């Protein structure tokens, strides 16, 4: 956390405020309910600390349970006990902000909503820099929506039906997504409102339009969060292990009239594996089939670590990792059937094709949108390469000078 000078200096002093009320009717206990492996509130608290711009990160809560969870998962966060009158269904966010202003000195207040866990430290830092550089009084976040809107009485809101724009030329409308707000102290105290004066509209990625207000939102946001954390987990991968039937192939068994067996492979998968190897990740094949076709394909791809006829795959996987000096957390595995589960459950990154069996799909970190033998391996390879390339620059955020 980068502490800033006190009020009166030329450098702004910003603090982050995360309101976490104990009562929640839509999703009981949602502020500390686990999502993608951690309590909901932990996502925005991590983002606030990672931003590197806040003198304090503060949670305002009336709940001892929430305070305990915050202390466990984010020990650098300050706890502000909220009085009972500010913990009702009718208490406004502005009242909570003003309560914080009574207890902390700041020039700028960032009010961050825990129900927007896709918010990143980079979002918070970039919005604040733009606010300061442009001398804005407040910031609202939103997502650009390229749709035509009407009132229920037939009045168009954002376009002229007589001059209907083509979609490519239509800039659309920014929809407030409620992720976070910035407010100058003077504006908050004088207007008792989070927004006013010269307002900056800070646009965020389309997926951040989803908020966790209803139970049906939970699965969608959890899926997005798991994809968000993939770069941090898979950027360290040093070995990719690939199953064959149903993964590198379509699981079909092709027979000629002469009784010869054939397998169908995908050239895009082959290019993916080649690119992975060029990026510095080792590649191995472990398959229960003892097929000369697979051995020939491995030779064609230049894969020397090819293990055929393996019924118990996990011991071979462990041996491969040890040989390369890797932990299983540094191994990625892609498979499609039940005999792949022991490996998928142990590796740092497990993936499967879109048509893998249901137990495998429920276990892995990543389900490709492509079926086995039709681009699933290429999809996983591209994901690994992107994560490896982005690892160095992830969360590389400077504090304001």
Instruction: Indicate the Cα dihedral angle 143, 148, 152, 156, nearest 10°.
Output: 120
Encoded tokens for 340: 């792949």
Please spell the DSSP secondary structure of 339-352, one letter per residue: GGHHHHHHSSEEEE
Residue 311: which of 283, 343, 266 has the closest Cα? 343
Rg of the chain (C-alpha set): 26
How far apart are the C-alpha atoms of 110 and 114, rounded to whole Å?
A: 13
H helix and E strand count, the chain: 12, 17
Comparing C-alpha atoms, which of 40, 70, 72, 73 is closest to residue 58?
Answer: 70
In the sheet with 239-242, reading across from the earlier edge strand, the strands are 305-307, 282-286, 239-242, 331-334, 349-352, 366-367
Q: Would you please indicate which residues are annotated as catalytic (active-site) residues?
A: 164
With a CB cutoff of 8 Å and minimum separation 6, the contacts of 107 are 7, 12, 13, 14, 184, 185
The helix (H) or strand (E) run that includes residue 272 is: helix 267-278
Neighbours of 41 (CB within 10 A): 27
Residue in this structure with the two tokens 């230049």, named with its chain if needed: 302
Give the position of tokens 């407030």: 176
Tokens (6 digits) for 318: 């462990």
Token pair listed for 117: 């866990």
């Amino acid at each position: 956390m980068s502490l800033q000078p006190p009020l009166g200096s030329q450098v702004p002093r910003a603090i982050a405020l995360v309101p976490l009320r104990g009562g929640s009717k839509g999703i009981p206990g949602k502020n500390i309910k686990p999502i993608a492996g951690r309590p909901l509130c932990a996502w925005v608290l991590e983002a606030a600390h990672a931003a590197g711009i806040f003198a304090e990160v503060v949670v305002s809560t009336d709940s001892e349970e929430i305070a305990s969870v915050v202390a466990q998962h984010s020990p650098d966060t300050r706890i502000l006990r909220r009085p009972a009158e500010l913990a009702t269904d009718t208490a406004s966010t502005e009242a909570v902000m003003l309560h914080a202003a009574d207890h902390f000195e700041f020039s700028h207040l960032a009010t961050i909503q825990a129900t927007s866990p896709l918010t990143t430290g980079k979002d918070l830092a970039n919005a604040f820099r733009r606010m300061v550089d442009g001398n804005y009084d407040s910031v609202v976040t939103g997502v650009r929506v390229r749709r035509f809107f009407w009132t229920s009485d037939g009045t168009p809101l954002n376009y002229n039906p007589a001059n209907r724009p083509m979609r490519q030329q239509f800039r659309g409308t920014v929809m407030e997504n409620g992720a976070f707000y910035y407010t100058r102290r003077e504006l908050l105290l004088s207007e008792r409102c989070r927004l006013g004066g010269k307002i900056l509209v800070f646009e965020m990625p389309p997926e951040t339009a989803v908020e966790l207000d209803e139970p049906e939102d939970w699965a969608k946001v959890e899926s997005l969060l798991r994809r968000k954390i993939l770069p941090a987990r898979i950027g360290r991968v040093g070995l990719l292990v690939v199953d064959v039937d149903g993964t590198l192939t379509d699981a079909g068994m092709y027979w000629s009239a002469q009784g010869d067996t054939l397998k169908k492979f995908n050239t895009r998968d082959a290019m993916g594996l080649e690119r992975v190897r060029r990026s510095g990740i080792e590649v191995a094949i472990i398959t229960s089939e003892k097929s000369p076709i697979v051995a020939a394909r491995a030779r064609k791809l230049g894969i020397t670590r090819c293990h055929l006829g393996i019924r118990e795959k996990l011991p071979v996987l462990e041996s491969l990792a040890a040989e390369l000096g890797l932990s299983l957390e540094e191994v990625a595995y892609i498979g499609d059937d039940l005999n792949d589960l022991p490996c998928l459950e142990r590796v740092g990154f497990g993936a499967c094709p879109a048509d893998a069996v249901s137990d495998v799909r429920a276990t892995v970190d990543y389900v490709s949108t492509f079926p086995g033998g039709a681009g699933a391996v290429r999809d996983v390879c591209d994901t690994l390469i992107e994560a490896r390339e982005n690892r160095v620059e992830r969360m590389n955020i400077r504090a304001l000078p």
